[in-house]
């Protein structure tokens, strides 16, 4: 690609950024919505990693979660329902030099976009995927989502939802080429930041399920977990999360878990009570699809000319004595 020179220049100037450099507009989420905390965490993450706003793209689908790009002063792509992942893959394939984040919700990712979720894991492109999981449809005003607990009363399930909730973590951990799976909760911002930072630093698709509150349609649903720290299981490991003294003191229910152990990760993911928080799985050696496909390779007009000529030769009828 031809942006190499620009890239060098940008790196040479290496500006520092402030939080304000990533802020755009006033979020229109409800008070107490978990999305607000995710947004500020992402803005902090961008600042702390000095991400150039013009080289950062937030891609989203449709739903409350997917408004996030509008509030980031970076490039953004607010797509169609369920399609955030394939759009982000296209961006990354065309421009592996860009940093790409994906915001998607439980309906967007796990329902209408479920096929893309599974295959995005297989492609393992270098994307940081934030699953904003509030376990309910918010933007369309309260319908059961795939992660709504059995019996959830909603506008489409007034007698209570009929099906067991889908567990996004166990599904994710069952897909070939999965390379990073973590879970965070929006009400522990420090760990949310640490987990998202680890996800951002992982090369490959990092999938972070963020359990988040929806005060409008699931009021008080997570209160029992917020009020009782023992109902949160913190996963710690030298190569995973390391806990600050404050966190370690508050959240005493901890488990030493090596993120390279996928079998243990699957067991942990299967237990939804207490809620596991931390890095369940990480494998830095899974190849990225954009590398396998040589995305961003330098391409010249001469290459095309020669490539085309070679192919046309296969189909050409030369008149007698013509120059070849």
Partner 1 sequence: MKEAVTLGEHIVEIVSDSGEGAQRCGQSLGAIAAKSGNGVWTVEIIPAEIQPPARSIAGASGNRVRLGARRVTNGGDQADLVVAFNEQVLLGRVQAEELRPGATILLEGRWRNDRDPLVASAYAETYDELVGLGYRVLEIPMERECLKLVPDPRRGKNMFVLGMLCGIYSLDLELAREQVAITFGKKDAKVIATNVKLLEAGFAWAEENLDFKYRIPAVRATEPQVVMNGNTALALGILASGMEICAMYPITPATSASHYLSEVFERVGGIVHQAEDEIAACAFAIGASYAGKVAVTITSGPGYSLKQEGIGLAAMAEIPLVVVDVQRGGPSTGLPTKAEQGDLLAVLFGTHGDAPKVVYAVSGIEDCFYAMITARKIAETFNMVVVVLSDASLATAQQPFPRPVFSEDWLAAPVDQTPVPPGARPYDWDASTGLVRRFIPGQPGGMHTVTGLAHDRESHVAYDPQSNEDGLRHRSLKLAALQKTLRCPPVFGAAEGDLLVVGWGSSKGAIEEAVEGLRAEGHRVSALHLGFIQPMPSGIGDILRRFGKVMTVESSWADRPAEDPIVDADNRRYSALAMLLRSRYLVDVDCWTEARGRPITPGSVRSAILGALAREAVPA
3-state secondary structure of 295: coil
Choosing from 37, 63, 79, 276, the residue that interacts with partner 1 (CB under 8 A) is 79
As a whole number of Å, the CA-based R_g of the chain is 22
Asked whether position 16 contacts partner 1 by CB under 8 A, the answer is no
Minimum CB separation of residue 323 from partner 1 in Å reads 9
Query: Is residue 26 at the binding interface for partner 1, with CB under 8 A as the rule?
Result: no
As a whole number of angstroms, the distance between CA 208 and CA 192 comes to: 10
Q: Which of 36, 80, 167, 250 binds partner 1 (CB under 8 A)?
A: 80
277 contacts 231 by C-beta, under 8 angstroms: no
DSSP string, 146-178: TTSPTT---SS-TT---SPPP-HHHHHHTSTT-
Q: Which 99-118 residues touch partner 1, going by CB under 8 A?
A: 115-116, 118
Structure tokens at 181: 């799976």
Q: What is the largest CA-CA distance in the chain?
A: 89
Q: Which of 34, 37, 63, 76 touches partner 1 by CB under 8 A?
A: 76
Instruction: Compare residues 80 and 250 and give the one whose CB is closer to partner 1.
Output: 80
Tally Cβ neighbours within 10 Å of residue 125: 26
The DSSP bridge partners found for residue 133 are 211
Using CB under 8 A as the criterion, what x/- string covers residues 259-298 for binding partner 1? ----------------------------------xxx-xx
- Interface with partner 1, residue 63, by CB under 8 A: no
163 binds partner 1 (CB under 8 A): no
What are the structure tokens assigned to 182, written together?
Answer: 């973590």
Q: How far apart are CA 144 and CA 110, in angstroms?
A: 12
- Residue 10 or 166 with smaller CB distance to partner 1: 10
Pairing state between β 143-144 and 136-137: antiparallel
69 binds partner 1 (CB under 8 A): yes
d(C-alpha 239, C-alpha 259), whole Å: 7
Binding partner 1 (rule: CB under 8 A), the pick from 12, 26, 246, 317 is: 317
Establish if 308 lies at the interface with partner 1 (CB under 8 A).
yes
From the CB of 144, what's the least distance to partner 1, in Å?
23
* CB nearer partner 1, residue 12 or residue 317: 317
* Cα–Cα distance for residue pair 168/113, rounded to 1 Å: 13
Interacting residues toward partner 1 by CB under 8 A: 1-3, 6, 24-25, 53-55, 57-59, 69-70, 72-80, 83, 85-95, 97-98, 115-116, 118-119, 293-295, 297-299, 301, 303-312, 314-320, 322
């Amino acid at each position: 690609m031809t942006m190499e020179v620009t890239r060098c220049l940008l790196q040479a100037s290496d500006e520092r950024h402030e939080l304000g450099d990533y802020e755009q507009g006033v979020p229109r989420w409800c008070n107490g919505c978990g999305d607000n905390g995710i947004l500020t965490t992402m803005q902090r993450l961008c600042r702390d990693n000095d991400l150039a706003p013009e080289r950062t793209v937030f891609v989203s689908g449709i739903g409350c979660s997917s408004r996030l790009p509008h509030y980031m002063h970076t490039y953004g792509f607010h797509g169609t329902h369920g399609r955030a992942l394939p759009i982000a893959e296209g961006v990354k394939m065309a421009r592996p030099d860009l940093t790409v984040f994906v915001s998607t919700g439980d309906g967007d990712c796990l329902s209408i976009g479920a096929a893309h979720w599974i295959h995005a894991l297989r492609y393992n492109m270098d994307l940081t995927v934030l699953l904003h999981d509030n376990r309910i449809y918010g933007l369309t005003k309260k319908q059961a989502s795939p992660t709504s607990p059995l019996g959830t009363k909603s506008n489409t399930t007034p007698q209570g939802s009929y099906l067991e909730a889908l567990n996004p973590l166990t599904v994710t951990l069952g897909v070939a080429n999965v390379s990073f799976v973590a879970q965070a909760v929006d009400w522990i911002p420090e760990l949310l930041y640490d987990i998202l930072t680890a996800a951002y630093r992982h090369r490959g698709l990092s999938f972070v399920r963020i359990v988040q509150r929806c005060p409008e349609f699931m009021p008080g649903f997570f209160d029992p977990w917020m009020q009782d720290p023992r109902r949160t299981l913190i996963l710690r490991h030298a190569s995973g999360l390391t806990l600050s003294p404050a966190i370690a003191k508050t959240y005493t229910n901890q488990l030493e878990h090596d993120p390279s152990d996928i079998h243990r990760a699957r067991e942990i993911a299967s237990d939804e009570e207490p809620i596991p928080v931390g890095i369940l799985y990480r494998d830095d050696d899974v190849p990225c699809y954009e590398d396998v496909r040589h995305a961003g390779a330098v391409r010249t007009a001469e290459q095309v000319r020669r490539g085309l000529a070679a192919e046309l030769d296969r189909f050409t009828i030369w008149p007698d004595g013509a120059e070849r």
